[in-house]
Amino acid sequence: MNSILQPLKQGEQYAFEVDLSICTGCKGCVTACQNLNGLTPAESWRTVGVVESKSGDISQTITTSCHHCLDPACLKGCPVRAYQKDAVTGIVKHLDDQCIGCQYCILACPYDAPKWIPELGIVRKCDMCTDRLEVGEETACQQGCPNDAISIVTKSEAQIKMPSSAMKLPTQVSPEFTFPSTGYINGQVSTDSKSLNEERTAEKGHLPLVLMLVLSQFSVGLWGLSLFLEAQAFLSQVSLAILLAGLASSVFHLGKPLKSFKAFLGLSSSHLSREVLFFGTYAPLVIVTLLLGQFVALEVLPPFTLKLLMPLRMIALITGLLGVYSSAKLYQITSRPYWKGDKALLGFPLSGLILSSAFALTFSGPAEQRLLLPIILIGSLLWTVLEVQRNNNTKGLLLASSKLMSGSLKGYWILQQTFLWFCGILLPIYLLQVEFKSSLAIFTFYGLLGATFTERYLFFKAGLGYRMPIGEAG
């Protein structure tokens, strides 16, 4: 391929290797990446972090970029197949014109390699300066390093998988998660070293996703209830309205909404594609079933088609549920500890069920059944309190998440509790004492709705991702 690189043998790939003993953390690599790749003014695909050595007297600076993993999480998660692992070089490339700007790769990558470029509405990342390697030039970061601490080496799959070659850095995801190829040599740090100058701040809130998730789950819940309750027409119509609002808001999340039609391409590996597919099927099915009766009444369709109504409704429900499952799954399979376990997998369907039952009870059910509402509320309250308890007793990123909840995100946590307590319990009790009115249940419903939106916002804000050490102080 070129003079400075060893030719690749079968099963080998190119990889970064950093000699930590000569990295001084000057950040020349960070700026060289910006200059030599023609990136936007604040963009760089490299970062430099600091970790304290075991002995405590070396502040080990660590330059990092994409690790061109054997099993890249970005690639698997991408709904439009915008990531490719080059069959020959092993370089993980991002196809900028294919990207729809969903940013799921940013949530999926445990090393913070893909960078969101708001000016362009897409994600970009390191391609190991493939074009430079092809003509025998050094990568931008190599050109930027005064001490030649960065090299490009060849590594076999077996070498990358060898536990001894794994990065020994603090707060890291297990290397088996993606098998990163970067080698850090001659360092004096270990997995229990202290990551310096690294105060974790909240992640992005992704408001459109908050709306989309809560509303789609609410919609599926209502749809399910509508199959069994008397007020079927009303509930199913509301279900559709909410769903459309949710799906519409999800488009605002995308950097390139016009390309969103590509989002099903990653079906074979991306839960996001599956989510798109399921909700993309659920929505028309809901519409069709709602219109079917009308069409028959208008004699556009023959009466026997009504027989299809129930099966279609059931199919819609199943696709809706699968959509909710995919939503939950796509977060749960990332490496973010906060999203692990039942946080999304149970939390998403449950919130749909809670909101829809509260809605049904409030707006369509018999008045006396509304007494069930406080039970739902107390359940929700208990859930939130238990969760705080649970996170406080943890280590690492989960602990950092719960610290955020009691730190910079405390306001949102209090808001969530306020919704539940005030709107949900205190206000109705007070009003009950004044005069029992069926409309009072509305407050309970709004309390739950507000609390769910806040909870989902916190889901993103406190859902800290793993990443390479950072730290700005030199």
Partner 1 sequence: MNLITKIQNLFLQTNGPLTQTLAKKTGPNDLGLVPHQPTQTTSLVCGYCSVGCNLQVHQKADKAINLSPEKTHPVNMGKACPKGWQALAPVVADDRAKYPLVKNEKGQFQQTSWEKALDLFHSKLKGVTGDNGLAQAAFLSTGQITTEEMALLGSLAKFGLGIIQGDGNTRQCMATSAVAYKQSFGFDAPPFSYDDLRESDVLVFIGANPCINHPILWKHVVQNPHNPKIIVLDPRNTKTAQAATKRYPLKAKSDLLLLYGIAKVLVDQNLIDEDYIAKNTKGFSEFKSFLEEIDLAEVAKITGIKKEDILALPLTIAQGKRVSFWWTMGVNQGHQAVLTAQAIINLALMTGNMGRVGTGANSITGQCNAMGSRLFSNTTNLLGGHDFARPDHRKKIAQILKIEESKIPQKASLAYDQILDQIEAGEIKFLWVIATNPFHSWIDPEKLQRMREKLDFLVVQDLYSDTVTALAADLFLPAAGWGEKEGVMINSERRLSKVNPVSNIKVQAKTDFEIFLEIAKKFQLGWVTEAFSNPEQAFATLQKITENQPCDISGIAGYKEIESSGGIQWPKAKGNGEQKRLFEDGKYYHKDQKAAFLFGEPTAPPNQTSDNFPYVLLTGRGSSTQWHTGTRTDRSPILKKISPKEIYVEIPPAQAKELGIIEGDLVQVASPRGAITAMALLTNQVKLGEVFIPMHFAEVNQLLDPVFDVSSRQPSYKYTPVRITAQKSL
At 325, list the tokens.
Answer: 């499952």
Minimum distance, C-beta of residue 455 to partner 1, in the bound complex (Å): 26
Of the residues 147, 294, 392, 393, which one makes contact with partner 1 according to CB under 8 A: 147
* Least distance between partner 1 and beta carbon 171 (Å): 14
CB 171 within 8 A of CB 471: no
* 42 lines the binding site for partner 1 (CB under 8 A): yes
Window of 35-43, 328-336, 354-362, 415-423 that interacts with partner 1 by CB under 8 A: 35-43
Considering only residues 96 to 115 of the shown chain, the ones binding partner 1 according to CB under 8 A are 96-99
Site string (253-292) toward partner 1, x via CB under 8 A:
--------xx--x---------------------------
Q: What is the DSSP string of 125-164?
A: ---TTHHHHHTTPPPHHHHH-TT--EEEEEEEHHHHH-GG
Q: Which residues contact 99 (CB under 8 A, 6 or more apart)?
A: 80, 82, 122, 123, 255, 256, 259
DSSP, collapsed to helix, strand or coil, labels residue 81 as: coil
CB 424 within 8 Å of CB 451? yes
The residue (of 68 and 313) whose beta carbon lies closer to partner 1 is 68
The sign of the CA dihedral 284, 286, 288, 290 is negative
Q: Which residue has the tokens 């060849």?
A: 154
- Pick from 13, 47, 250, 289: which binds partner 1 (CB under 8 A)? 47
Q: Indicate the DSSP class of residue 183.
A: E
Question: Interface mask (CB under 8 A) for partner 1, residues 316-345, using x and -?
Answer: ------------------------------
**Rule CB under 8 A: is residue 372 a binding residue for partner 1?**
no
Contact 120, 255 (CB under 8 A): yes
61 near partner 1 (CB under 8 A): yes
Q: Beta strand pairing status for 183-185 and 12-19?
A: parallel
**Which window, 136-144, 243-251, 303-311, 452-460, contacts partner 1 (CB under 8 A)?**
136-144
Whole-number Cα distances in Å, 208 to 214, 264, 322, 454: 10, 19, 21, 13
Candidate list 1, 5, 58, 301; residue touching partner 1; CB under 8 A: 58
* Spatial separation of the C-alpha atoms in residues 166 and 184, rounded to whole Å: 9
Nearer to partner 1, 52 or 203 (CB): 52
Contacts with partner 1 by CB under 8 A lie at: 22, 24-28, 30-32, 34-39, 41-44, 47-48, 52, 56-59, 61, 81, 95-99, 120, 122, 124, 129, 131-132, 135, 137, 143-148, 196-197, 199, 261-262, 265, 472-474
